Structure 1
């Protein structure tokens, strides 16, 4: 029940933000047309800081980065910022809050298969979890931190896995006020990509994790 409430809270939050974007379209456009060099330093820092706060919907931050700096530069900033945030939380659990991390992941009964996946191939487990955005990021961070996975491998798998979703958010933010049809098309393609990734995960789970 609590998980369902959290899910709907996130959906409502994104909906309210989308409405606010449409209502304040003109001032947002004026801000986006201002000189990006005046903002890039503190915006990157703010994005990296917000990425360490699990309750903040980072998709909104990622969309702003795309709107301000374009889909390529914005996407790269998103990947770097979100990976930095994940690595900070990984290190926090591993070196300071290990027991709290164990108690946190113990609340998820469906985690057994993921932990077995990590035991077989931690890098691929984290990569797959990042490619599927509805897998709770704090759970992946905590599970990785209490495992034997190296921080460098965790950071690389996280960065690679975040590339699709972070560039999609950047593209959506870049095009949202210009072409709704383009946003719908990229969203559809991304959903098809997610379906393919999830189908691959289900196949791997049946073949290697069912025993």
Structure 2
């Protein structure tokens, strides 16, 4: 049921991106400086006033796949590093906040010897709250190097795919929809196969 809910959510996000593409473009029109776009990408990751997939698609629509994707990748990773630092600094408060996410507690044993892989996989799972992942990493003392590297690698596929979706949504909406849905389906299959293999080990 949760997988279907995630699929419906992604379809809704894609539809909203297409419907409000002109408004989103107008929001940052005028070719603002890169530092301002980076600051916006970071702030919208820190304070998600709208689903971040819409932000990614909007960045791709306005700046193209490479430019928009890169800005989003750097901004969202910077936001994650800020939250990581805050969780490490206020560890007790972070641990109390994490108590609401029981599934994250299961990561502790797995992440002990696989910090990079843990973060990369968490970034790939679309239904996993990414703020919780950032706080978890900081509160549990996960290596900052592995946290950043895992974040970049794990986010990279989704960021550039959705930036590409945003860049093509107006001229080729059907292709954009097919790519977005295909990515989600392939990701689910990969995660399912990986989970099945882990159970057999």
Q: Normalised by the size of structure 2, how large is the TM-score?
A: 0.83
Match of 2:120 in 1: 127
Match of 2:76 in 1: 82
Equivalent residues in 2 for 1:22-37, closer than 5 Å? 25=22, 31=26, 36=31
Match of 1:174 in 2: 167
Q: Which runs of 5+ in 2 are unaligned?
A: none
Q: CA deviation at 1:18?
A: 3.9
Equivalent residues in 2 for 1:107-146, closer than 5 Å? 107-146=100-139
Q: RMSD of the alignment, in Å?
A: 3.0
Answer yes or no: is 1:152 the counterpart of 2:151: no
Write the distance in 2 (CA, Å) between the matches of 1:194 and 1:180.
21
**8 Å Cα contact 1:78/1:167 also seen in 2:** no
Q: CA deviation at 1:148?
A: 3.0
Question: Residue 67 of structure 2: which of 63, 69, 73 is its match?
Answer: 73
- Whose radius of gyration is greater, 1 or 2? 1
**8 Å Cα contact 2:88/2:141 also seen in 1:** no
Q: Normalised by the size of structure 1, how large is the TM-score?
A: 0.79
Q: Which runs of 5+ in 1 are unaligned?
A: none
Q: Deviations over 1:149-173 (max 9, x none)?
A: 2212101100110001111221121
Q: CA deviation at 1:189?
A: 2.6
Q: CA deviation at 1:108?
A: 2.2
Q: How many residues align?
A: 196
Write the distance in 2 (CA, Å) between the matches of 1:185 and 1:107.
35
Q: CA deviation at 1:112?
A: 3.5
**8 Å Cα contact 1:51/1:82 also seen in 2:** yes
After TM superposition, the runs of 4+ consecutive aligned structure 1 residues lying more than 3 A away are: 10-20, 38-41
Q: CA deviation at 1:35?
A: 5.6
